[in-house]
Amino acid sequence: MTAILGLAACEFRIALRNRWVAIAVAMMAVFALVLSAAGSAPTGEVGADRLSVTVASLTSLAVYLVPLLALLMAFDAVAGEIERGTLPLLLTYPASRGRILAGKAIAHLATLALALAVGYGSAAAAAFAVDPAAANGLPALLRLFWSSLLLGASFLGLGYALSAVARRPGAAAGLAIGVWLVMIVLYDLGLLAAIVADGGGPFTTGVFPWLLLANPADAFRLFNLAASEATTAAAGIGGAANAIPAMQALASVALWPFLAFGLALFALRKVTP
Amino acid sequence: MTALILSQVTKRFDRTAALTDVTLSVAPGERVALLGHNGAGKSTLMKIVLGLIPADGGRIDVLGVAPGSPAARANVAYLPENAAFHPSLTGEEQIGLFLRLRGEPAGKAGELLDRVGLGDAARRRIGTYSKGMRQRVGLAQALIGRPRLLVLDEPTSGLDPVSRREFYGILDRLAADGAAILLSSHALTEVEARTDRIVILSNGVVVADDTLAGLRRRAALPTRIQISARPGAADAVARELTAGRRNGVMVDLVCAADKKLAHLGSIAAMSDMIEDVDVIPPSLEDIYDHYSRRTLS
């Protein structure tokens, strides 16, 4: 355990010095504040408190931003060590590869948690400032926070796996952006196109919900929207959210980190320095 | 118990043989130098000993267990060639991390850095260090705990002569404490008197494994006797000794080591024609060349 914590402490220190912590926190804070300012229109009419509406906006933000931040932090984890020539020495130490990965993951998750806390916290503060009933939305915000961490953990694991497979930081960065583009942007567009072409046929009813659950980002969105009824009013994907129980979406969000870290460990074990 | 045993170890990369039937051993307290040109297989051999890459054939026994196993890693220290560290960390933080990875308190970092002469730079980032300083950080991490086997890949490259002497002083104390040391170098002059045994690798084959005295004896390289004759006497001296003349005053005589005394006797007999005599034994480089070239043919 000292080994994992030692690695995590060093990794966090490096993230601080490389300004990664500052960048992540600033990015989340800026986007969260912009969203809560822009999302001030629909209050009152839907009967929801201000914070619940903000959480709905933050959910759509987190789907894009959390995987991006996680991939950006993770792509250098293994490839960077290989390029600097620091990996062979590290691997001769008694700490196993799983522990090395765990140490890095703890540091990166802590960075992400800090950024999310600052971002969501400032959005919540803005909501409280204008609506005294905003406290009703706190459970939804808390749920968003921990499910965002799970989503981030999934993409950290995927990022480590890419980093170990690519072995060069440049290639790893390219792969990371590619994965983000495919899983976050193109995946949904593809599903949308398939639904339109299917016209309410067997694909839409039988396959589509499973495909949504298979993608951690979609499952994350479904979970947060389905769990909070008030937020469905503010989001367009409400139909899909009603078709899939929140627990199934949660299962996907919770299982993905294990799958991703399994992949990462498998890829790291294949690396011969 | 022998600290390290390699028996007929073979390693191939694609079609090229990196190591062929390499057999060697290092006993506790013994300092063994592994010599070879660049690409002779030194680093490959070390990585196999550390368990970083698997061997294709042969038997490897590290402190009685398999290379790279948790028990082996707990007791083996490694100094990579061109030791590299994260530039954003200070020397103290980096050594602190390595200490914690070995289950020791990070607070010992200062003491270790003092031991390798980096006490003053301990709180500066490694990115600002010179190559020699990074090498010292590498050495400091290899000293953590009480390693029973040290694997040092070209440890003295980048060190100035004074630091090199200090470095060997540290190794002497480790060996006296019973640590087995395997270190590599591409120059015999660097390791000469500071190692107990020398193993020469050439194209992945062990071509010599002996003490320096033994290598010298077996190579049986000729000794050179350099005679400075008195003005005008060089021709006569050269004729008398049936030797080659280099210039107006110098006469060069090359002979087998066991003929040296006889020649010196006849030189002494001509003392009226001779100003000075130098006996030049085969240099370390000559000996190294002798062994490392044998397999090239």
Per-residue pLDDT tens over the stretch B141-154: 999 988 999 999 98
Amino acid at position A173, single letter: A
Per the structure block, which two tokens stand in for B272?
């009226």
Residues of A with CB under 8 A from a CB of B: 2-3, 5-7, 9-10, 13-14, 17-18, 84-86, 88-89, 91-96, 272-273
Per the structure block, which two tokens stand in for A178?
């590619």
DSSP designation for A168: S
State whether residue B146 sits within 8 Å of chain A by CB: no
Counting the structural domains of chain A, the total is: 1
State whether residue B65 sits within 8 Å of chain A by CB: no
- Using alpha carbons, list the distances in angstroms from residue B121 to B142, B166, B254: 18, 18, 52
Task: Considering only residues B213 and B175, tell me which one the structure prediction assigns the higher pLDDT.
Answer: B175
Say if residue A234's pLDDT is above 50.
no
Q: Answer yes or no: are the C-beta atoms of A246 and A227 closer than 8 Å.
A: yes
Of B73, B86, B96, the CB nearest to A93: B73
pLDDT, mean of residues B242-261: 79
Are the beta carbons of B101 and A94 separated by less than 8 Å?
yes
In total, the C-beta contacts within 8 angstroms joining chain A to chain B are: 71
Confidence of residue B11 (pLDDT cuts 50, 70, 90): very high
Are the beta carbons of B103 and A2 separated by less than 8 Å?
yes
pLDDT, mean of residues B243-259: 78
Range name among A23-37, B88-102, B223-237 with the lowest pLDDT average: B223-237
The interface pTM score, or ipTM, of the predicted complex is 0.86
Confidence of residue A126 (pLDDT cuts 50, 70, 90): confident
Bridge partners of residue A257, in order along the sequence: none
Work out the number of other CB atoms within 10 angstroms of the CB of residue A102: 20
pLDDT, mean of residues A209-234: 79
Are the beta carbons of B96 and A6 separated by less than 8 Å?
yes
Q: Answer yes or no: are the C-beta atoms of B144 and B112 closer than 8 Å.
A: yes
Q: What domains, with CATH codes, occur in chain B?
A: 4-217 (3.40.50.300), 222-281 (3.30.70)
Give CA–CA dist A93/B4, Å, rounded.
18
| Residue carrying the six token digits 């070239």 | B293
pLDDT, mean of residues A46-67: 84
Question: Which of the residues A1, A10, A13 would you substitute to probe the B interface, choosing the one with the greatest number of B C-beta atoms within 10 Å?
Answer: A10
Are the beta carbons of A10 and B85 separated by less than 8 Å?
no
Which residue, B168, B118, B123, B120, is CA-closest to B138? B118
Q: The whole model's pTM is what?
A: 0.86
Are the beta carbons of A94 and B98 separated by less than 8 Å?
no
Say if residue A103's pLDDT is above 60.
yes
- Using the CB atoms, write b or e for B165-204: b if 16+ within 10 Å: ebbbeebeebbeeebbbbbbbbebebbeebbebbbbbbbb
Range name among A54-68, B88-102, B144-158, B237-251 with the lowest pLDDT average: B237-251
Side-chain-side CA neighbours of A235 within 13 Å: the count stands at 28
- Using alpha carbons, list the distances in angstroms from residue B132 to A166, B53, B118: 31, 27, 10
Are the beta carbons of A272 and B52 separated by less than 8 Å?
yes
The overall longest dimension of chain A from CA atoms, in Å, is 63
For the segment B125-143, what is each residue's pLDDT rounded down to a tens digit?
A: 999 999 889 999 999 999 9
Distance from CA of A156 to the nearest CA of B (A): 21
Residues of A in contact with B98 (CB under 8 A): 93
Of B80, B88, B93, the CB nearest to A89: B80
Task: Considering only residues B194 and A271, tell me which one the structure prediction assigns the higher pLDDT.
Answer: A271
Work out the number of other CB atoms within 10 angstroms of the CB of residue B261: 8
At B138 the pLDDT is: 93
Q: Answer yes or no: are the C-beta atoms of B71 and B144 closer than 8 Å.
A: no
Of B70, B80, B96, the CB nearest to A88: B80
H-helix or E-strand containing A124?
A: helix A97-130
**Helix runs in B102-180, H state only:** 109-115, 131-142, 161-176
Q: Write out the residue range of the structural domain in which residue A66 sits.
A: 2-269
Residues of A in contact with B86 (CB under 8 A): 10, 14, 84, 86
- Using the CB atoms, write b or e for A227-264: b if 16+ within 10 Å: bbebbbbbbebeebbeebebebbbebbbebbeebbebb
Say if residue A232's pLDDT is above 80.
no
Task: Considering only residues A108 and B214, tell me which one the structure prediction assigns the higher pLDDT.
Answer: A108
At B145 the pLDDT is: 87
Give CA–CA dist B116/B95, Å, rounded.
12
Residues of B in contact with A7 (CB under 8 A): 97, 101
Name the average pLDDT for chain A.
Answer: 88
Are the beta carbons of A3 and B47 separated by less than 8 Å?
no
Residues of A in contact with B50 (CB under 8 A): 88, 92
At A155 the pLDDT is: 97
